[in-house]
Amino acid sequence: MKKIVIIVVVILAVAGIVALTIVRAQSGYTKVLTGKVVRANLVAVVSGTGQIKPKTYVNVGATAFGRITHLYVKEGDHVKKGQVLATVESIQPEANVDAQKAAIDAAKTDISSYIAAEKTAEANVEHSKADLEQKKLDYDRYTALYAEKLVSKADFDAKKAAYDTDVATLNQSNAALVQAKAQTDSARGHLGTQVATLRFNEDALNKTVSVAPFDALVTNLPVREGETVVVGIQNAEGSTLMTLADMSIITAEVKVDETDIVNVSLGQEADVSVDALPGKVFKGHVTEVGDQALLRSTGVATSQSTSGTEEAKDFKVVVTLDRAYDELKPGLSSTAKITTASKPNTLSIPIQALTMRPPEPSTEKAHVEPVSASKAAAADAEKVQGVFVMRPDKNGKLRAHFVPITTGITGSTDIEVTNGLKEGDDIVTGTYRILRNLKDDSLVKRDTTPPTVNKEDSDSSSSS
């Protein structure tokens, strides 16, 4: 029993010595997470959320007042250009068209009678010309005979009277012909008016039938058969029959945060995902970038808002998909990941390794001055971004040295380094709490144990 106690005491003593040695060896060290500067393919992505929308859609409005007699489609149907969609009661327009056609037929009959009268008048003119010619010959002959005293004055006067009568008759026939032609022209004019009225009535009749203006999908059908529709303002209740969407060109209309919109431009590639279709990615390109900021709370453009409240803003971005997809429906929630920049085989570091430090103090301002709020803000603005690079000192101990760097594009987890580091450099990557308080030239030691997750260390911000 005594031997067992002695052995236990010896073991405890040895353990204590080992522990003391380890504690002393590690005193003054800061355990840090480390990484290396590596080359990688970086892709900068800006995300926005919104919904699927067709590039072209129309609200088919009522063009005639009346009761809907037939609806030939239902919501979700695909329709072809020119296909009949709905009809409105058309008794009165049809009656107007029939009456006008009858009036046109009557007008054509009148024209035919006037043309016949015109022919009669022309025949009368010819007959009057022939009579006048005969009477003129008789008159000329009797004039010569009367000059030679071979006929009586009574006979001569009779021939002259007959000639004058035929002259008047010819004039009368010519006037009758002119009148007949005028009546024919007037009848033709009335016929033209009747034809124009028929076109008006036929147009009114055609407006009782709604047809598809293009190949489309019926996305909204707010009316039912038997309801009465009116011709009114667009989107007013009772004036819209249905909404048609041209699904041959599909877009994702998303909102992008104001801090990211400066990196978005036309033509950039984008991957669109839809909540209702998990696992599927639809390729597209940016085709529109909004110029006006939209208030996030209301969606109203800042130029139209009367409120002076400062709040987060978004910008509208339209991504047009490279081709149509039958499974996509208007209104589906979507997310667009827009590739704003890419750098192949470039130096990069984990984003969490990046930290901020104040510039080196100037020797000319070594004396202590009171710090005002404005000076503190100015100091924050002058902070230098960089990373802590681990290098051994002359005794072989690792020390963390703050190295200012310049950065380029930012990927999902890494950021490009354009100056200040070289490939293979050992850098401190965490944790955030350690990086925030780490001093230049501090003794460090690699922490190989998995870090515990806490709110402060998982903070995406690495400003310190």
User: What average pLDDT score do residues 422-431 get?
Assistant: 92
Q: Report whether 292 contacts 303 (CB < 8 A).
A: yes
pLDDT, mean over the chain:
85
- Cα gap 156→138, rounded to integer Å: 9
pLDDT over 80 at 203, yes or no: yes
Query: Residue 248: is its pLDDT beyond 70?
Result: yes
The arithmetic mean of pLDDT across residues 281-294, rounded, is 93
What pLDDT shows up at residue 146? 82
Across residues 228-253, what is the average pLDDT? 83
> Is the distance from CB of 51 to CB of 212 less than 8 angstroms?
no
Rounded to an integer, what distance in angstroms lies between the CA atom of residue 59 and that of residue 212? 11
Domain 46-57+243-342 sits in which CATH superfamily? Efflux pump adaptor protein, beta barrel domain (2.40.30.170)
Residue 458 has pLDDT above 80, yes or no: no
Give the rounded percent of residues in the chain with a pLDDT score beyond 70. Answer: 84
CATH (one of 2.40.50.100, 3.20.20.70, 3.30.750.210, 3.20.20.80) for 62-88+208-229: 2.40.50.100
Sheet holding 84-88, edge to edge: 209-211, 84-88, 66-71, 228-229
Q: How confident is the model at residue 80 (pLDDT cuts 50, 70, 90)?
A: very high
In the numeric block, which tokens belong to residue 285? 């390109």
CATH 1.10.287.620 residue ranges of the chain are 92-206
Task: Please give the CATH topology (third level) of the domain spanning 92-206.
Answer: Helix Hairpins (1.10.287)
pLDDT at position 230 is: 87
Burial of 247 (0-12, 13-18, 19+ CB in 10 A): buried
pLDDT band at 301 (very low <50, low <70, confident <90, very high): confident
Is pLDDT larger for residue 381 or for residue 162? Answer: 162
Kindly provide the b/e burial profile for residues 136-151, where b requires at least 16 CB atoms within 10 angstroms of the residue's own CB: eeebeebeeebeeeeb
Give burial (CB, 10 Å; 0-12/13-18/19+) of 242. Answer: buried
b/e for 275-312, b at 16 or more Cβ within 10 A? eeeeeeebebebbebbeebbbeeeeeeeeeeeeeeeee
Please state whether the peptide bond connecting residue 143 to the residue before it is cis, i.e. omega within 30 degrees of 0. no
Answer whether residue 52 shows pLDDT above 90.
yes
Q: What is the pLDDT of residues 353-410, one digit of tens each?
A: 999 988 765 444 444 455 455 555 555 557 899 999 999 988 889 999 999 999 999 8
pLDDT (mean) for 316-344: 93
- Whether the per-residue pLDDT at 462 is higher than 70: the answer is no
pTM: 0.62
Max Cα separation, the chain?
A: 198
Q: What is the CA radius of gyration of the chain?
A: 50
Is residue 415's pLDDT more than 70? yes
Q: State the span(s) of the chain assigned CATH 2.40.30.170.
A: 46-57+243-342
| More confidently predicted of 372 and 240 | 240
Residue 281, beta-bridge partner list: 273
Judge whether residue 124 has pLDDT over 60.
yes
Q: Does 4 have pLDDT greater than 90?
A: no
Give the pLDDT score at 365: 42
Sequence-distant (≥ 6) Cβ neighbours of residue 186 within 8 angstroms: none
Q: What is the mean pLDDT of residues 21-35?
A: 67
Among candidates 360, 359, 362, 355, which has minimal Cα distance to 389? 355
Question: How far apart are the C-alpha atoms of 437 and 433, rounded to whole Å?
Answer: 7
pLDDT of 21 reads: 40
Residues contacting residue 449 through CB under 8 Å, at least 6 positions apart: none
Annotate 176-210 with b (16+ C-beta within 10 A) or e (fewer). Answer: bbeebbebbeebeebbeebeebbeebbebbebbeb
Per-residue model confidence (pLDDT) at position 361: 58
CATH 2.40.50.100 domain range(s) in the chain: 62-88+208-229
Neighbours of 437 (CB within 10 A): 9
Question: 122 pLDDT exceeds 50?
Answer: yes
Kindly tell me if the per-residue pLDDT of 270 is higher than 50: yes
On the question of pLDDT at 5 being above 70, the answer is no
Q: Which of 321, 251, 217, 279 is nearest to 52 (CA)?
A: 251
pLDDT value at residue 363: 40
For the segment 441-455, the average pLDDT, to the nearest whole number, is: 73
Under the banding of pLDDT at 50, 70 and 90, the label for residue 461 is very low
